[in-house]
Amino acid sequence: MTFSQQLITWYRNNKRDLPCRRTKDPYFIWLSEIIMQQTRIEQGTPYYERFVDAYPTVKHLASADEQEVLKLWQGLGYYSRARNLHGTAQEIMTGYGGIFPDTHADILRLKGVGDYTAAAIASICFDQPHAVMDGNVMRFLSRLYGIAESIDRPETKKTIRAIAEKNIDHRNPGDFNQAMMEFGATVCTPANPGCLNCLFQRQCIAFKNNTVGRIPARNSKTAVRHRFLHYLVITVTERGTEFICLNKRTGSDIWKNMYDFPCLERTLDKTLLRLPAQEFDELLNSATPEFGEVSNPFIHILTHQKLHARFYRIHYDKKIDLPCLLVPVKDIHNYPVPKLIDRYLSKIFF
């Protein structure tokens, strides 16, 4: 039995039953692969099912509003994936006549689709022998071949890709790719891998050398940046309806096209001191406000940032000129917000 035959046999006997494995429709495979990028299967699967329900065809997705797509994506993170997903659905409608491209080269041109996703779609949907290179595959193969160089180096990734391409089953490239990933995800895991019962223990260089714990190696991580956010939570009552002031984030910062509140950012405030009210004058075009409740600090961790946020409430009895979007509080659930804001809202308002 060749390596790929052993692996595929193992896969057919041990694979998890996932919703996204019940189809070969390129639209659904694309959707699932974008959702699963840098995301654990268990975390992404509920989102996949909600997207399939909401947008059963690429045409449905293309016709949606971006805000609606972001709302459905809310909580999953890396929101550029959702923006690109939506934009690419429209591109498929207008540029490809609604038909998903069927060659690796054309799939790779789609925005939001890189080497990994193009290979996954091409192999699973169209039986094209392109090997996927994701975290699971790189871990499994770097251990199996005892590759100790950092997998962050493109050179190392090329070496591993060559191994995968050499071993890919040309009859079942989709199963081979999924088997590689499934094996990495369930047996050759980052911590406490199942080496003792591993099918490939005899061939595994890292196991032989007792270096499984050090492979794969990665570059040192970049430093975490601390940010201190002072959020103004303005509410206004007008004819018995309560409104809240939202801010749509634009530009190249985190959470693009998501909503939060008007904000003052400080970088030197190591302790997130309470700001005096007049510091907010620049946001308000009006007289210094009187705060209602001022929250304790909220800590929110991103990959390269640690956010320290404080929320300052202000209430007005009538509408004034405000530099933000005034939304009825009861409609907040229509607006995509980052997890930090969602945490605050559910603690204070809901």
Would you tell me which residues interact with DNA (CB under 7 A)? 18, 20-21, 32-33, 36-43, 75-80, 84, 111-118, 120, 134-136, 139, 152-155, 178, 181-182, 184-185, 190-192, 216, 218-219, 221-222, 225, 252-256, 300-305, 338-340
Distances (CA, A) of 82 to 64, 220, 251, 259, 328: 12, 29, 16, 15, 26
Residue 318 beta carbon to DNA: minimum distance, rounded to whole angstroms: 33
Cα 108 from Cα 90, distance rounded (Å): 16
Counting beta carbons within 10 angstroms of the beta carbon of residue 40, is it exposed (0 to 12), middle (13 to 18) or buried (19 or more)? exposed
Distances (CA, A) of 160 to 6, 124, 153, 188: 19, 20, 11, 16
Tokens of 316: 């007005």
Residue 136 beta carbon to DNA: minimum distance, rounded to whole angstroms: 5
Q: Which is nearer to DNA, 39 or 57 (CB)?
A: 39
Q: Which is nearer to DNA, 4 or 117 (CB)?
A: 117
Q: Which is nearer to DNA, 151 or 232 (CB)?
A: 151
Residue 298 beta carbon to DNA: minimum distance, rounded to whole angstroms: 11
Tokens of 109: 């041109």
State whether the Cα torsion 172-173-178-183 is positive or negative. positive
Strands 305-316 and 325-328: unpaired
Look up 91 and say whether it is catalytic.
no
Residue 276 beta carbon to DNA: minimum distance, rounded to whole angstroms: 28
Cα 60 from Cα 118, distance rounded (Å): 22
Q: Which residue has the tokens 């997998």?
A: 151
Q: Which residues are catalytic?
A: 33
